[in-house]
Structure formats: C-alpha cells, structure tokens
Amino acid sequence: MDGRVQLFQLAQMGMLTGCAMVAIRWIWLSTRLQNVEAFMAQIVKLVQANNVDRALKLTRAVANEPVALGTGAVLRAWSAGRRLNEIEVIDTFNGAIPGGSVRVALGRFRTLKTLSFFLAAGAVALRLYAFPFFGIELFWIAAGAWLVMFVSSAFKAVRIEHDTFGALGKLTELVAEPAAADPGVDAGEGDDTRGEGHLAIREAWEDADSRTDELTEAGVEALLLAVFRKENGLDLSGDEMAMKRIRDAAQKAVVELRSVQETQVNLPFITATAERGPLHLEASVNRKKALVFSKRNQGEKGAPAKVEAVASSTVPDFAPADEPAHPPVSGKAVLCRNCGTPIPVEPAILAQIEGEFDLWTKVKTRCPQCGGSFFELKK
C-alpha cells in the first residue's frame, strides 16, 4: 500500500510539473499580438494615405512581434526607394524575424511543451497503476488543466502563424512591384512568362506547407531547365541523356520536398560545349518555387486557350474588339507601370483620379497583360 501511495504522489508531482511547463508556453503565446488582421488593416490604411512614418511608428509599438518586425523591415526598404518584387518582399520580411521564419520565431518554450506531454502521459500511467479509478481530486483537475493549455497553445501558435502569413500577403499586394524577371519565381525566363509566376507566388507562399500533394515532377523538371537556361544560356530539353538525369532528379526532389522545405540538386557533367567544356547543373529547389512551376505546368496543360486569350487581349470580353472599352476622359488614361498596357477604367471613376492616392484606392484591378497592380496616370 505504501508503494502505491508513493507512486500516486510521484504521479501527482509529475502532473503538476507538466502543467507548469506547458503553462509557460501558453502564457507566452497569450501575450503575443492576437489581432494581426486589425494591425495589418491599419498599416494598409496608413501606407495608402502616404503616411509611411506613422505606419513605421505603429510597427515599433509592438516591436517584439514577428509581423511587426517583418512589416517594419519591408516598409523601411520600400520608403527608402528600393523597388521590391514579391520574392524580395518575402525575403526582407523573413530576414527581419528571429530565426528567419514565423514558425521559428513562435517556437520559444516549444521544447518545454513537448516535454510536458511525456511527463503528463507518464504521470497518468503511474496514477492509474497505483489507483485505477477516477474521481474529483487534484490530480485529475491538474490533468484537465494541462490538456486545455496544451491544446490551446497549439491552436494559438497555428492561428498567429496563419494570420502573419495573411499579413505578408497584404503587404506584398501593397508594396511589391513586378520586375523584369522575378528571381526565384521563374528563374528569369523572361517577360512573356513572368506575369504568371508573379501571380502564382503569393498563393504558393501562403499555403505551400498544406499543398505538397500538388508538387509535380514535371514542374520541378521545368524549374531545373529554367535554372540551367538562366545560368548557361542553353536549353537542355532536346538532350535526351540530360533530360533522363533531370527527370530522375526531379522525381527524387518531389519526394524530398514533401517532408522538407528545400533540397539540393547536383548533376555534374550534365552536358558539354566546345567553347566552355563540361557544364554542371547545381540548384537549390525549395517547396514554394516548385509549387509555382507545378501550378504553371498544370495550367499550360489544362487550359492554354483561356490563358492565351487573357494574356493577349487588353479589351474585356464584354467590349467589342473594334471599340475602346472606355473612352478617355479629358485625355487621361491609366497605364500599367510595368508594361505600359492601358487599363480599362469606368469614365466616372477616371474623372475622379488625380494622383497616386486615387490610383491606389479607386483602381481595383490588375493589368490584363502582365498581372501587375502598379499603375500611373497619363494626362
């Protein structure tokens, strides 16, 4: 009997210790910024009103939050005149966060929470071995409290991480500009395909971790070909031996990317030229790039006619091809800053546009040619 009492006391001590350990993580997460959406909505409003200084001041008010650190870094770079494409916005955002990612930044005391799980499980096993019955007592109250805090802290971390990714998407829409070639999106394939990668990268970034089943070998294969083409100016798609090695590497990369964020592809002596001798294919393939290329590859096979129709026309479907969609108002026109394509705008709205702020707030569309969202007013 004394042995069972000792086991019961040991189990009770273990459960209380597990509660204390998980409580540290739970309390820390509870002190994080909970309403990330409201914070980001205020940032967007301030930036659209050309009040970047106040937006930066707001980020400094919650300076220890991942979303504030990343947003502040992006806004400082942007206000200093640096033009950022979407990948650069993402890299700048993550570079300002401790550990380089939101998940790592929210990982404080995560080890204590994990240890508390094993401690609580062992305590329950000891308690049931000593006295195999349930009742209203301190042990089971502590066990219930541990379970609530354990589950709650997991949900809090996931929600903050999800809201921060959503904030990053809004920040990208706010300040990112299309570049001649989005590095890391289409590996510099050129203007004719840049727009599609530009539009796809945001979706890939936001939920790449939950969409690993959409990774395809053909997409990774296209990415590797694009990387080699960018670095060496050669297209390997007509080289059967090189393509066999690339297909094997793509197959292996897809398997690895379903469990890791990034993998390395190293194919030495992939080809050779008389002028430069042997050439090698070395590339870092991360999950987001691979998902963008996989999406593009599926889109090209699934509905090419629709994509080409949208990309090749600047006139909406409801407007006759031989008439302008909207006649110019007093000689004014809205043009895409990236490719110069005229943007169709209702005459009543066009008459109200006088400057940058009006462009931000009144033109709610994207360029039908390149997918850009930065416009200029031509008078």
Q: Tell me, what's the pLDDT at 360?
A: 62
8 Å CB contact between 253 and 212 = no
**Can you tell me the distance from the alpha carbon of 236 to that of 259, in angstroms, rounded to the nearest whole number?**
28
Domain ranges of the chain: 2-175, 191-302, 316-379
Q: Tell me, what's the pLDDT at 287?
A: 80
For the stretch 243-264, pLDDT in tens is 999 999 999 988 888 888 888 9
**Can you tell me the distance from the alpha carbon of 195 to that of 146, in angstroms, rounded to the nearest whole number?**
50
For the stretch 265-297, pLDDT in tens is 999 888 888 888 888 898 888 887 787 777 666
**Can you tell me the distance from the alpha carbon of 334 to that of 320, in angstroms, rounded to the nearest whole number?**
20
Positions of the chain with pLDDT lower than 50, given as ranges = 179-200, 202, 204-206, 299-329
CATH number attached to the domain at 191-302:
3.90.640.10
Q: Tell me, what's the pLDDT at 296?
A: 65
- As separate numbers, helices (DSSP H) first and strands (DSSP E) second, the chain gives 15, 4
Q: Tell me, what's the pLDDT at 151?
A: 92
Q: pTM of this prediction?
A: 0.48
**Can you tell me the distance from the alpha carbon of 216 to that of 250, in angstroms, rounded to the nearest whole number?**
8
Torsion sign over Cα 91, 92, 98, 102: negative
Q: Tell me, what's the pLDDT at 372?
A: 64
